[in-house]
Structure 1
Amino acid sequence: MMNSEQPRGPASDHLAAATDGEEAATSLLGSNRELAILYTIAGQLNRKVDVREALQEVLSQVTRLLGLKTGWVWLLDEEGEPFLAASLSLPPYLADHPDRMTGRCLCLDTFLGGNLASAANINVLRCSRLRNAEREGDPSSWGLRFHASVPIHVGEMPLGVLNVASEDWRELHSSELQLLHIIGDQIGLAIQRARLSAEHTRAAARLAAIEERNRLAREIHDTLAQGLAAIALQLETADALLLSQPERAQAAIRRALALARSNLEEARRSVMDLRAAPLQDHSLPDALALLVKRLRAESGTRLEFRYEPSPAPGPGRFPALSPHHEAGLYRIAQEALNNALRHAAAEQITLTLAVRDKMIVLQVQDDGRGFDPERARDYTREGHFGLAGMSERARLLGAQISIESLPGAGTSISVYLPYQG
């Protein structure tokens, strides 16, 4: 009996080696092509901010690189209902009748039923939306009957379905379906990233709105509330002197009117988010000096302002700060001085502004009755927002605030603001 297996000679060995080499080269080229496709798709998804625009680019790349013609993407809305997020070269039967691209279909039902959840379950499905066109022989359907459906997930969360098709449909190879599945995962990550970014933007907007409301509340407190308190003090003085000393009463009324006009203008500036009025034409040290001078004249209390510029060689000018930081420090000083005048029964109040080692120090000290800092929250609940407002302002400025006080031993409020310069 002869052995049917013929011995291989040198020529056969060379032929086998060449065949193996061609197969390896083909496999390598295929792998490189797939990597190029994934690289291109990833680039499109990363570059585009708008999800729909990105999906449109992905459809264009996928259909071109796989030799297909048509594609569309379904996404699920917040209620879990599908909507058409992107489409490319739909046949007129569908493109000219948008109602035919709404609602459920076979691929969506398969996806939502959990039967299109992984690479192994990706299938070539007959398009139920084209069933009538196929039955009627409608040429506007371009003869499309089948498409490949690719699930889009992020983790266990279903997001939608990617469909691709062509007139001369051929069932896609398993490697192509696997490639589409990876692209589906890339789309899922991009959609999740876009949604998280949108949520972050909405959260930032909500936070900004809250901070703006707080800012307006502080501005109202720092302008209208304090201004009204000063006006009320002048009117009380006028009322007490009206019969015995009418001239002094009239002077108090004129001061009240001047304060009303001044605070009305300052309130307008605050609401318009401009700098504090005293800072319009003055540096911060000058504005604080004027503030102390005015409060000293109005209250009769001994108020002193001390300015300690940087000891470093130079012209001695105050460091250049943003209007936001200058206005914030001015408001804190204004609030601390008004608190001392209204509540501390102090005989001496000192406001110090110092520049020390890349640090601006603002300090208000008084020798008044003092208080227990541990009860600061109680004061807020009782409607006194001065301490809370100063602390909030310091935080927004990026500064540290220290409030030291003891009953009967006065109060010291210090703010430390780092600066570059």
Structure 2
Amino acid sequence: MPAARPAHISVLVACLTLATTSAWAQASKLPVTPEQRRVADQVASAGVPLSELAPNAPDSHTVVAGDTLWDISKLFLKSPWRWPELWGMNRDQIRNPHLIYPGQVLLLVKGDGRARLQIGQQVGGGAAGDTLKLSPQMRISALDSSAIPSIPLHLIQAFLTDAVVFDTDELAKAPRIVASQEGRVVLGQGDLAYARGDFGGATDFRVFRTSRPLIDPTTKEVLGYEAPYVGTADLIRPGEDRKTADGKTEIVPATMQIKQVKQEVGVGDRLAPTPQRNLDRYVPHAPDHEIKGQIAALYGDALNAGQNQIVALNRGRRDGVERGHVFALWRDGQAVVDKTQDRAQAIKLPDERHGVLFVFEVYERVSYALIISVKEPVKPGDRFTQP
């Protein structure tokens, strides 16, 4: 294929390569919704309108370590969550939208007011003026661990350990710390604690304080119970009920060792098994049906939330919310007085869209979202809709 002319190319975001059979089998299980495929097929037939490209999109971009799908999309599209359109621009070369690797060169050929994605490979030392060879690429890899993530994981990774929501107040029945080493009031890293309850065969636990209910701002329904995280502990010796010489039952609690602490651990704190987490597959996409709701709570002690902070939504799995969903944040229009006529009249200004949410954790009736962008502080009761 002749070298592409720089004047006729800019770059878009998404390029994927084939992997080994085992890696491909793993990747094919990653979530690609029917709606995402529909959009991709639609775009593949004609390309993306040039009007959807971001202003000042660069002519070329080589994916580097540290890139995220969101960041790269933001370079080239007005709406970075619209990744299926990028994927659909060249379905012949882009087989799976979840695997994007450092070193790949992303090109966009323009023509007739449309843009189509092609995969390029740099020829030469990468200096200015080097040509770009357009060709399919093969990447051989046993695993897809080097693929770039969809969003900056450092913004949510701590939260995934720190927070949990229970559908019912089940922590009330969870194993509990009943005593501390040498009668200490608070416990720190390395200290021993003693606990009772049904450990269910687990040995690795998170430690929580008493949970608080999450309340729907409108219906006042209890959506779930959010448990404040205080640390982690390992079960090092199980408890037992044993008979004494006089025939009585002696209760011996389990022995725990405090592994990590965010706050001091104390008697009465509850234990829940540490779940396995997959932090890699948070792919931005719009819901395939209408979902709207409100901010139920701000995570932590803040009165208002801003960019890169976390909020709880009053919609969850039962409402069709899933990981990766993107929502628009709306600000209620102000109530003002129209004084332009002889008689003043109260009016309400239109609601204004002022931010974007990215859902990364979903429970039955509540979900958590990262505020990707926002113009004004976010508070409980603010509403969200389709992006």
Say yes or no: TM over 0.5.
Answer: no
Say which one has the larger Rg. 1
Q: TM-score, normalised by structure 1?
A: 0.19
Bigger helix fraction: 1
Higher RCO (CA-CA < 8 Å; seq separation 6+): 2
Q: TM-score, normalised by structure 2?
A: 0.20
Bigger strand fraction: 2
